[in-house]
Amino acid sequence: MTTYKSTFSIKRLWLILTIGMAAMFGTMLFLGNEIYREAPPIPAVVGSTDGTTLYTRANIERGQNLWQSIGGMQQGSVWGHGGYLAPDWSADWLHREASALLALSTAQNPYPSLRPDQQDTMLRADIQQEMRRNTFDPSTQAITVSPTRAQAIQAVESHFTKLYVGDGQDALDLRRDYAFPMHAFLTPEEAHDLSAFYFWTAWSATTNRPGDTITYTSNWPHEPLVGNHPTSGTLLWSIASVIILLAGIGALVWYYAKQFDTWNTDVVPDGGFAKSDLIDSIVITPSMRATAKYFWVVCALFLAQVLLGIVTAHYAIEGQGVYGMPLVDYLPYSVTRTWHTQLAVFWIATAWLATGLYVAPLLAGRDPKFQRLGVNFLFISLLVIVVGSFAGQWAAVHRYFGDLTANFWFGHQGYEYVDLGRFWQIYLTIGLFLWVALVLRALQPVFAAQGSKSLVGLVVIAALAIGLLYAAGLMWGQNTHISIMEYWRWWVVHLWVEGIFEVFATAIIAVLFVRMGILRSTTATVMVMLATIIFLFGGVLGTFHHLYFSGTPTSVIAVGASFSALEVVPLMVIGFEAYNRTKIEHEQTWETNYHWPFMFFASVLFWNLVGAGLFGFLINPPIALYYMQGLNTTANHGHASLFGVYGMLGLGLLLYCLRGLTDVRQWNQKLLKVSFWTLNIGLAMMTFLSLLPQGIWQTYASIEHGYSFARSSEFVHSPIMEGLVWMRVPGDVVFAVGVAAFVLFVFKATTAKRQAA
CATH number (domain holding residue 567): 1.20.210.10
What is the predicted pLDDT for the residue at 724?
Answer: 95
Q: Do residue 546 and residue 456 come from a single domain?
A: yes
pLDDT in tens, 290-341: 999 999 999 999 999 999 999 999 888 887 777 777 788 889 999 999 999 9
Query: Domain tally for the chain?
Result: 2
Q: Do residue 582 and residue 691 come from a single domain?
A: yes
Q: Do residue 210 and residue 320 come from a single domain?
A: no
Domain endpoint, select from 180, 195, 229:
229
Q: How far apart are CA 123 and CA 642, in angstroms?
A: 47
Q: Is residue 24 part of a domain?
A: no
Going 50 to 51 to 52 to 58, the CA torsion angle's sign is positive
DSSP per-residue codes, 554-621: THHHHHHHHHHHHHHGGGGGHHHHHHHHHHHTTSSGGGGGGHHHHHHHHHHHHHIIIIIIIHHHHH-S
Q: Is residue 688 part of a domain?
A: yes
- The helices-and-strands tally (H runs, E runs) of the chain is 32, 6
What is the predicted pLDDT for the residue at 601?
Answer: 87
Q: Do residue 511 and residue 591 come from a single domain?
A: yes
What is the predicted pLDDT for the residue at 586?
Answer: 64
Of 121, 74, 131, give the one whose Cα is nearest residue 101: 131
Residues in the chain, overall count: 757
Domain endpoint, select from 229, 260, 292:
229
pLDDT in tens, 163-183: 999 999 999 999 999 999 988
Domain endpoint, select from 199, 229, 259:
229
Q: Is residue 661 part of a domain?
A: yes
Q: Is residue 39 part of a domain?
A: no
Q: How far apart are CA 463 and CA 501, in angstroms?
A: 8
The pTM for the full model equals 0.94
Report yes or no: 316 and 726 within 8 Å, Cβ to Cβ: no
Q: Do residue 253 and residue 202 come from a single domain?
A: no
Residues of the chain with pLDDT under 70: 1-8, 260-268, 270, 449-452, 570-588, 755-757
What is the predicted pLDDT for the residue at 608?
Answer: 86
Q: Is residue 40 part of a domain?
A: no
Report yes or no: 243 and 727 within 8 Å, Cβ to Cβ: no
Q: How far apart are CA 222 and CA 506, in angstroms?
A: 40
Q: Is residue 15 part of a domain?
A: no
Range of the domain at 155: 45-229
Give the count of beta carbons closer than 10 Å to the beta carbon of residue 49. Answer: 12
What is the predicted pLDDT for the residue at 578?
Answer: 55
Give the count of beta carbons closer than 10 Å to the beta carbon of residue 112. Answer: 6
What is the predicted pLDDT for the residue at 576?
Answer: 55
Q: Do residue 522 and residue 562 come from a single domain?
A: yes
Q: Is residue 587 part of a domain?
A: yes
DSSP per-residue codes, 361-385: HHHHTSPPTTHHHHHHHHHHHHHHH
Q: How far apart are CA 391 and CA 685, in angstroms?
A: 33
Q: Do residue 349 and residue 210 come from a single domain?
A: no
Q: Do residue 205 and residue 344 come from a single domain?
A: no
DSSP 3-state of 79: coil
Buried b (16+ CB within 10 A) or exposed e, 554-592: bebbbbbbbbbbbbbbbbbbbebbeebbeebbeebebbe
What is the predicted pLDDT for the residue at 698?
Answer: 97
Q: Do residue 248 and residue 274 come from a single domain?
A: yes
Q: Do residue 181 and residue 267 come from a single domain?
A: no
Q: Is residue 408 part of a domain?
A: yes
Buried b (16+ CB within 10 A) or exposed e, 323-360: eeeebbeebbbbbbbbbbbbbbbbbbbbbbbbbbbbbb
Q: Do residue 186 and residue 244 come from a single domain?
A: no
Q: Do residue 205 and residue 242 come from a single domain?
A: no
